[in-house]
Structure 1
Amino acid sequence: MNEVLYPALAAVAWIGLAVKIRDLRRGRNPSRVAVCGALALLGSTFTVSTPVVWSWLDRVTGVANLAALWAHLCVVGFSGTVQLLVLWWVNPPEVARRRARARLALLAVTAVALVVLFLAAGPTEPRTTDFVATYAERPIFAAYLLVYLSAFAVGMVDVVRLCWPYSRLAGRSWLRRGLRTTAVGAASGLVYAVVRVADVVGAQAGVDIRRWEPLAPPAASLGALLVILGLTMPAWGPRLSEFRGWLRRRRQYRQLQPLWSDLHRLMPQIALEPPVAAPLSNLDRRLYRRVIELYDGSLALRPYLDEAAAGRAGRIGTRLGLRADDLAAVMEAARLRGAVRAYAHGAPRSLPDDESADEASPARLDEGADLTQEVARLVRISRAYAGSPVVAAAVAGREALPAEETEVAM
Structure 2
Amino acid sequence: MTHVLYPALAAVAWAGFAVKLRDLRRGPNPARYAVCGALALLGSTFTVSTPAVWSWLDRTTGVANLAALWAHLSVVGFSATVQLLVLWWVNPTDLARRRTRARLAFLAVAAATMVVLFLAAGPTEPHATDFVATYVHRPHFAAYLLVYLAAFGLGLVDVVRLCWPYANMAGRSWLRRGLRTTAAGSVVGLVYCAVRVADVIGAQLDVDIRRWEWLAPIAASLGALLVILGLTMPAWGPRLSHIRGWLRRRRQYRQLQPLWSDLHRLMPQIALEPPVATPLRTLDRRLYRRVIELYDGSLALRPYLDEAAAGRAERIGARLGLRPDELSAVMEAARLRGAVRAYAHGEPVAPGADEATPARPDEGADLSEEVARLVRVSRAYAGSPVVAAAVAGREVLPAEETEVAM
Q: What TM-score, normalized to structure 1?
A: 0.96
For 2:170, give the aligned amino acid.
A
Q: Which residue of 2 aligns with 1:399?
A: 395
**Contact 1:295–1:364 at 8 Å: present in 2 too?**
no
Separation in 1, partners of 2:97, 2:260:
60
User: What is the 5 A alignment of 1:261-280?
Assistant: 261-280=261-280
Shift of 1:105: 2.5
**Which runs of 5 or more structure 2 residues have no equivalent in the other structure?**
none
1:27 correspondence with 2:32 = no
Shift of 1:101: 2.7
Shift of 1:309: 1.1
**Contact 1:6–1:221 at 8 Å: present in 2 too?**
yes
Cα 1:353/1:203, change in 2 over 3 Å: closer
Q: Which residue of 2 aligns with 1:408?
A: 404
**Contact 1:182–1:230 at 8 Å: present in 2 too?**
yes
Q: Which residue of 2 aligns with 1:363?
A: 360
CA RMSD of aligned residues (A): 1.5
1:109 correspondence with 2:115 = no
Separation in 2, partners of 1:344, 1:378:
22
Cα shift readout 1:51-79 (whole Å, capped 9, x = no counterpart): 11111111111111111011001000001
Cα 1:364/1:45, change in 2 over 3 Å: closer
Q: Which residue of 2 aligns with 1:248?
A: 248
Q: Which residue of 2 aligns with 1:379?
A: 375
Q: Which residue of 1 aligns with 2:132?
A: 132
Moved more, 116-125 or 383-392: 116-125
Cα 1:120/1:388, change in 2 over 3 Å: same
For 2:150, give the aligned amino acid.
S
Separation in 2, partners of 1:364, 1:177:
34
**Which runs of 5 or more structure 1 residues have no equivalent in the other structure?**
none
User: What is the 5 A alignment of 1:133-212?
Assistant: 133-212=133-212
Q: Which residue of 2 aligns with 1:213?
A: 213
Identity over aligned residues, as a percent?
82
Cα shift readout 1:156-199 (whole Å, capped 9, x = no counterpart): 00001100111111111111111111111101111110110111
Shift of 1:361: 2.9
Cα shift readout 1:110-162 (whole Å, capped 9, x = no counterpart): 22211111111114211111111110110100111011000000100000110
Separation in 1, partners of 2:123, 2:187:
34
Separation in 1, partners of 2:273, 2:100:
59
Shift of 1:351: 4.2
Cα 1:364/1:59, change in 2 over 3 Å: closer
**Contact 1:58–1:67 at 8 Å: present in 2 too?**
yes
Cα 1:123/1:409, change in 2 over 3 Å: closer
Shift of 1:108: 2.1
Q: What TM-score, normalized to structure 2?
A: 0.97
1:65 correspondence with 2:62 = no
**Contact 1:175–1:233 at 8 Å: present in 2 too?**
yes
Separation in 1, partners of 2:34, 2:105:
16
Separation in 1, partners of 2:51, 2:108:
28
Separation in 1, partners of 2:233, 2:348:
58
**Contact 2:361–2:370 at 8 Å: present in 1 too?**
no
**Contact 1:305–1:349 at 8 Å: present in 2 too?**
no
Separation in 1, partners of 2:340, 2:199:
77
Q: Which residue of 1 aligns with 2:233?
A: 233
**Contact 1:299–1:362 at 8 Å: present in 2 too?**
no
Separation in 2, partners of 1:132, 1:187:
22
Separation in 1, partners of 2:353, 2:381:
26
Q: Which residue of 2 aligns with 1:290?
A: 290
Cα 1:106/1:296, change in 2 over 3 Å: same
For 2:315, give the aligned amino acid.
R
User: What is the 5 A alignment of 1:6-17?
Assistant: 6-17=6-17
Q: Work out the number of aligned pairs and report it.
A: 406
Separation in 2, partners of 1:133, 1:27:
46
Runs of 4+ aligned structure 1 residues displaced above 4 Å come to none
**Contact 2:332–2:359 at 8 Å: present in 1 too?**
no
**Contact 1:30–1:88 at 8 Å: present in 2 too?**
no
Partner-residue secondary structure (3-state), 2:97? helix
Cα shift readout 1:348-384 (whole Å, capped 9, x = no counterpart): 3324376xx24x4323676x32221111110000000
**Contact 2:192–2:220 at 8 Å: present in 1 too?**
yes
**Contact 2:133–2:209 at 8 Å: present in 1 too?**
yes
For 1:299, give the aligned amino acid.
L
**Contact 1:157–1:186 at 8 Å: present in 2 too?**
yes
For 2:13, give the aligned amino acid.
A
Partner-residue secondary structure (3-state), 2:213? helix
